[in-house]
Chain A
């Protein structure tokens, strides 16, 4: 038998061959490749947005769940003495640790301070007619008591409504449900497009290199030697596309958080860049593996060895 491939560094020799041929066919199919990369980038960017969205909503829900406070809105035209009665009643409920009355005079001052400049006198503008209700801030001993206390207070006359975390939580859960559903649908559509486009790029490469493949087979190249450049091409398409997605996600999330977080400081948004970085890395890994798998599968269909 002939001594084939013996010598200094057959592995390196092959790697350099694979890289050269991968680059060559990427260059040859550059429009198809660009379309694959762009679709991969969009798909994984959307995936990243949804992951970050879901993580943030989870963080917010957790915060709300651990919130022991509720706000009791008193009907607007209730006498102050009646409000004091409600306050006393609430203070005497079991598991209530603190009750604070925020009268409407204070409320309007807060709004004036927070949303208008110091020269504006909101009360004057409204002709001294304060439309705000009084409200109570009620704290309970543990999150498990929130619902029970809220129900009891809500049953009182003159109480307009009780706001507590559970309501937001329900809304957030509904939002999360729809986000997940829509997100999954959009991502599946894009992933199908990715699979189609990368698969098609590999198919075109197989056709374009048909003669070359034939010659390689007839001179006795091993099957894996023939396959590798195609697999690498798929890997590179997946890698570049998801790398773009991950970089854009990483940068835009950090910029967004930097600019938005201070306006919504009450929301516990994820500011940890480590989490964003890990998600970005995960996206790159998934994208690369997907590219490899897709090209392997389309080789099975189009490359007859």
Chain B
């Protein structure tokens, strides 16, 4: 489903003492994720977790290497083809990115609206998805009236509204307490069990340890471990 072939990403770090400095965010990444897998991406801050996800939804382009999504090379994707790629991915963020002047239901409906679903489709789908992510009872509340966990449920609802085959999550539990984090992970696992391929970046050691999934550890832009089970202690 997802494949990285020898991918490196170098950021221009500006000029220091007259010398141009470069930051190597990713260095020779080779990674293959099968359809329906749930993979945790762990590592310290700055290890390259976010960069790796940004390459997947084409917010960034790799300096070298190839990336395949669903069998298609996305490295040389045209600008107008990027939205098509993103419609096949749900993206979940640490800070939820909900619109404050819209209710939960409207936030979810907004995503469908910009994807040009009909009003009827929106009306039918939104309650079902809210039910699925366990936030239906908050449908008409605004984000400021919700707890962190509820906000993340709403954001996940929005991400899966068009049944994307892939879901990317960048520190989805980063702003949540341990109990809530656990609930959110269980929700993500439920979605994964319905067939969605999932790549979750996190540094929440306890959760990763108890989920018993595939764990890919990044350190300074390199994969230092890739195994099933717990958080790698490198």
Chain A residues close to B by CB (< 8 Å): 1-2, 4-5, 7-8, 10, 13-14, 17, 211-212, 214-223, 225-226, 305
Central interface residue in B91, B116, B158, by most chain A CB within 10 Å: B116
B86's partner among A1, A7, A217, A226 (CB-CB below 8 A) is A217
Q: Using A2-B163, A7-B121, A214-B97 as known contacts, say yes or no to A219 and B86 having CB atoms under 8 A apart.
A: yes
User: Smallest Cβ distance from A227 to chain B, in angstroms?
Assistant: 12
B162 located at the interface, meaning its Cβ lies under 8 Å from any Cβ of chain A in the complex: yes
A10 — which chain B residues lie within 8 A by C-beta? 116, 118
Contact residues of B between 162 and 220, Cβ < 8 Å to A: 162-164
B87 located at the interface, meaning its Cβ lies under 8 Å from any Cβ of chain A in the complex: yes
Can you list 21 residue pairs at the A/B interface with Cβ under 8 Å? A1-B84, A7-B121, A10-B118, A17-B114, A212-B99, A215-B97, A215-B158, A217-B83, A217-B86, A218-B86, A218-B97, A219-B91, A219-B159, A220-B83, A220-B84, A221-B83, A221-B115, A222-B80, A223-B80, A225-B114, A226-B114
A211 — which chain B residues lie within 8 A by C-beta? 97, 99
B99's partner among A5, A215, A305 (CB-CB below 8 A) is A215
Q: Give the distance in Å from the alpha carbon of A10 to the alpha carbon of B99 in the complex.
A: 24
Contact residues of B between 107 and 122, Cβ < 8 Å to A: 110-111, 113-121
Q: Is the CB of B87 within 8 A of A2?
A: yes
Given contacts A211-B97, A220-B83, 8 further A-B contacts (CB under 8 A): A10-B116, A13-B118, A217-B83, A219-B115, A219-B158, A220-B87, A221-B114, A223-B79
* Chain A minimum-CB-distance residue to B100: A211
Q: Give the distance in Å from the alpha carbon of A50 to the alpha carbon of B158 in the complex.
A: 55
Q: Is the CB of A219 within 8 A of B119?
A: no
Q: Give the distance in Å from the alpha carbon of A13 to the alpha carbon of B164 in the complex.
A: 23
User: Smallest Cβ distance from B116 to chain A, in angstroms?
Assistant: 3
Q: Is the CB of A215 within 8 A of B110?
A: yes
B57 located at the interface, meaning its Cβ lies under 8 Å from any Cβ of chain A in the complex: yes
B1 located at the interface, meaning its Cβ lies under 8 Å from any Cβ of chain A in the complex: no
Q: Is the CB of B79 within 8 A of A5?
A: no
A14 — which chain B residues lie within 8 A by C-beta? 116
Q: Is the CB of A218 within 8 A of B57?
A: yes
